[in-house]
Chain A
């Protein structure tokens, strides 16, 4: 890359004003991250659409088991893990990585050096996901949730992410001196944690030397860790950056944000064994994990208060700014998701929620309604700054929001209620002696879920088309951001 691009400080000329230097700085930073970030976003979008269609087929199969039932690679047992892995590794991580790279570069005020490294990692990453999904469909998989990919795929994912993680941490190390904003704590954590988590979990579950249920414990530690150390970290880091940025106000309390960060990461890391309450492990593991989950009320309270207090005087911005609206939906989903997870995991509730659709609903709350919505918000903010044009249509954004908001909301509600019905029926063998009797009880919910999937398909397809228009530079000319409604006189400018 040209020397001038990697050293923006050289451009400081005495006749420029501070604002001009700031503007040039930002343009150089955006130019350096443009290709890798857009690459990650585009592939993530494609996987999201694919995952949505596959998830729809999975949903149909639950009430119509002979649908596409003649091929081994389309049986529910393989299609469901393929779907969750596409959702998490195809969409979730790349969308988060793209956002994290952009926010880190902006907050550290450094240009991304050698952007071809993240691009190559992105290519490797997507090859890894493709290989992994094909392997799962072909039956070459592991029996652990979110660790189904076989070694060939997981090695690719690990190498790809490690490079990105190193690049992220290096950007942080080379940052311009100054205050380290709270988002950076979360994002640097995510850059740092995921490769360790992924490598140690894969090595341990793939090891021939670990006996019996030990790999299952590791798998639970991993699946839970992924939700906290990556999804929650990147999602919250993004929300903490975007909301103050758009409304033009600092975060409510710096100390609260630090308390929220450290208490969340500390306690969340100990919650993995709630996945085996009543399972074949000494009881202290699940007791410890349940206790840690209850302590999570501390970060839930502090993060919630912090973000809501920041928004307090600017709540009208959810009517104007797509970014703020998506991020606020994500914030509320995170708070509800954490509370529901805590509530469903205490010993009294566990028999009614464990092994049921409740856990699918709780997973969707964190990965879909919280993380995915925050990522949509981030993309609505970031993409125009990278491609140099504004989103084509506020109506498209509005339809996308309501489709996704209602789709996710209804689906999660249905799954959580279905979970309680399922758990209650399993625990009442006198009334529902056969598995088929239990399934009969949740059948209406399963059918409604398929209907709700249609909303999500429409929303994600609309967004995909809108996004492609941006990639092809077909948006509105640069200038005013595309808002839901113009901001009236006297209201805060975004």
Chain B
């Protein structure tokens, strides 16, 4: 009986096909993309990020942000990502060529972060600034009531003010406020993480992503009122 021959050949063939199509083909097809240079302005996109921002990406990985946040914007036909103000176009493979690792994610308990660095809230100009991110990381429910994000207080330090207050010291009007004479300042990991978040921007036009889409910004307090 020559069956084992066919079992092993079959098992091998099935695996090889799967590997070739879903692991090798992407490496060959989109594994060596180049940045695009705008002929008129000389702008290059995408560009690699700086050292501290790359450290911030490592913090993002290490804190498991990817468990609840994605970094990919889908075409309007695939979901309301753009209508939510998460981006002006879908993201494509070229957007991620310098991202080691590309943090596409798999779950959205929180919003997509692919363009968090360029996002604006038309009612609240302070939203999404570095100071806002620090506050949000320290106490998510202070800046976003109802959020289920964990608090990252352990990335911050409460220290005695020696001389002048730190420029990034967190300003709280509630119980989070430190005792008099003390200040809450972001630690090195929080600073790196916020430096990374504020650079996240995939809005530069790319031919393969189609034209950028103008969105009447939703996701604001005003729209929140409209629900009631």
Report which A residues bind B (CB closer than 8 A): 61-63, 65-66, 69-72, 75-78, 80-81, 139-145, 172-173, 177, 180, 185, 188-189, 192-193, 196-197, 200-201, 204-205, 208, 210-218, 220-221, 225, 229, 262, 265-266, 269-270, 272-273, 275-282, 285, 288-289, 347, 350-351, 354-356, 359-360, 422, 426-437, 439-440
B50: interface (CB < 8 Å): no
Chain B residue at minimum C-beta to C-beta distance from A424? B80
Residue numbers in B under 8 Å from A354 (CB-CB): 79
Chain B residue at minimum C-beta to C-beta distance from A223? B106
Residue numbers in B under 8 Å from A430 (CB-CB): 218, 223, 226-227
B4: interface (CB < 8 Å): yes
State A172–B105 Cα separation when bound (angstroms): 40
Which of B23, B105, B141 is the most central at the interface, judged by chain A CB atoms within 10 Å of its CB?
B23
Residue numbers in B under 8 Å from A422 (CB-CB): 108
On whether A214 and B26 interact (CB within 8 A), knowing A359-B106, A434-B224, the answer reads yes
State A350–B94 Cα separation when bound (angstroms): 24
Could you tell me the dominant secondary structure of chain B's interface residues?
Answer: loop
Whether the Cβ atoms of A212 and B67 lie closer than 8 Å is: no
How far, in Å, is A138 (CB) from chain B's closest CB? 9
Chain B residue at minimum C-beta to C-beta distance from A288? B21
Residue numbers in B under 8 Å from A192 (CB-CB): 8, 11, 15
State A117–B32 Cα separation when bound (angstroms): 43
On whether A279 and B61 interact (CB within 8 A), knowing A269-B18, A435-B144, the answer reads no
Whether the Cβ atoms of A200 and B19 lie closer than 8 Å is: yes
Annotate B107-146 by CB proximity to A: 1 below 8 A, 0 otherwise. Answer: 1111100000000000000000000000000001100111
Which residue in A76, A276, A351, A360 is a CB contact (below 8 Å) of B79? Answer: A351
Whether the Cβ atoms of A282 and B33 lie closer than 8 Å is: no
Whether the Cβ atoms of A355 and B30 lie closer than 8 Å is: no
State A358–B30 Cα separation when bound (angstroms): 29
Which residue in A62, A272, A355 is a CB contact (below 8 Å) of B22? Answer: A272
Which residue in B10, B141, B150 is a CB contact (below 8 Å) of A75? Answer: B150
How far, in Å, is A130 (CB) from chain B's closest CB? 19
Whether the Cβ atoms of B61 and A282 lie closer than 8 Å is: no
> Which of B36-44, B95-103, B171-179, B192-200 contacts its partner?
B95-103
Residue numbers in A under 8 Å from B1 (CB-CB): 177
On whether A434 and B144 interact (CB within 8 A), knowing A76-B150, A351-B78, the answer reads yes
Chain A residue at minimum C-beta to C-beta distance from B155? A72
Residue numbers in A under 8 Å from B91 (CB-CB): 279-280
Which residue in B7, B83, B145 is a CB contact (below 8 Å) of A180? Answer: B7
State A172–B141 Cα separation when bound (angstroms): 58
Chain A residue at minimum C-beta to C-beta distance from B100? A208
Residue numbers in A under 8 Å from B19 (CB-CB): 200, 221
Whether the Cβ atoms of A139 and B96 lie closer than 8 Å is: no
B17: interface (CB < 8 Å): yes
Q: How large is the interface on B (under 10, 10 to 19, 20 to 34, 35 or more residues)?
A: 35 or more
Chain B residue at minimum C-beta to C-beta distance from A74? B150
Which residue in B4, B31, B224 is a CB contact (below 8 Å) of A210? Answer: B31
In addition to A213-B26, A436-B148, 17 A-B residue pairs with Cβ atoms within 8 Å of each other are A70-B153, A75-B152, A81-B64, A210-B27, A212-B33, A212-B93, A212-B99, A221-B18, A269-B17, A269-B22, A280-B93, A354-B79, A355-B107, A426-B84, A429-B85, A430-B227, A431-B226
Which of A139, A143, A193 is the most central at the interface, judged by chain B CB atoms within 10 Å of its CB?
A143
Whether the Cβ atoms of B22 and A221 lie closer than 8 Å is: yes
Whether the Cβ atoms of A429 and B83 lie closer than 8 Å is: yes
On whether A80 and B22 interact (CB within 8 A), knowing A210-B27, A215-B102, A266-B14, the answer reads no
Whether the Cβ atoms of B109 and A439 lie closer than 8 Å is: yes
Whether the Cβ atoms of B62 and A139 lie closer than 8 Å is: yes
Whether the Cβ atoms of A213 and B150 lie closer than 8 Å is: no
Whether the Cβ atoms of B150 and A280 lie closer than 8 Å is: no
Chain A residue at minimum C-beta to C-beta distance from B75? A278
B70: interface (CB < 8 Å): yes
Whether the Cβ atoms of B21 and A262 lie closer than 8 Å is: no
Whether the Cβ atoms of B80 and A429 lie closer than 8 Å is: yes
Chain A residue at minimum C-beta to C-beta distance from B107? A355
Whether the Cβ atoms of B11 and A355 lie closer than 8 Å is: no
State A188–B224 Cα separation when bound (angstroms): 56
State A431–B147 Cα separation when bound (angstroms): 17
Q: Would you mind naming 12 contact pairs between A and B with Cβ atoms under 8 Å apart?
A: A65-B151, A76-B64, A76-B67, A81-B67, A143-B61, A211-B30, A212-B99, A221-B22, A279-B91, A280-B96, A288-B21, A429-B85
Whether the Cβ atoms of A220 and B14 lie closer than 8 Å is: no
How far, in Å, is A357 (CB) from chain B's closest CB? 8
Whether the Cβ atoms of B31 and A211 lie closer than 8 Å is: yes
B149: interface (CB < 8 Å): yes
Residue numbers in B under 8 Å from A278 (CB-CB): 72, 74-75, 78-79, 90
Whether the Cβ atoms of A65 and B14 lie closer than 8 Å is: no
Whether the Cβ atoms of B61 and A141 lie closer than 8 Å is: yes
Q: Ordered nearest first, which 9 A-B pairs have the shortest CB separation? A: A77-B64, A269-B18, A278-B78, A436-B146, A278-B74, A139-B62, A212-B96, A355-B108, A221-B22
Residue numbers in A under 8 Å from B79 (CB-CB): 278, 350-351, 354, 426-427
How far, in Å, is B88 (CB) from chain A's closest CB? 15
Whether the Cβ atoms of A217 and B11 lie closer than 8 Å is: no
State A225–B153 Cα separation when bound (angstroms): 38
B63: interface (CB < 8 Å): yes
Chain B residue at minimum C-beta to C-beta distance from A222? B23
Whether the Cβ atoms of A139 and B104 lie closer than 8 Å is: no
Whether the Cβ atoms of A432 and B227 lie closer than 8 Å is: yes
On whether A189 and B11 interact (CB within 8 A), knowing A65-B150, A359-B106, A429-B83, the answer reads yes
State A204–B23 Cα separation when bound (angstroms): 9
State A440–B145 Cα separation when bound (angstroms): 11
State A351–B227 Cα separation when bound (angstroms): 22
On whether A212 and B218 interact (CB within 8 A), knowing A78-B64, A221-B23, A278-B79, the answer reads no
State A211–B33 Cα separation when bound (angstroms): 8
Chain A residue at minimum C-beta to C-beta distance from B10? A262
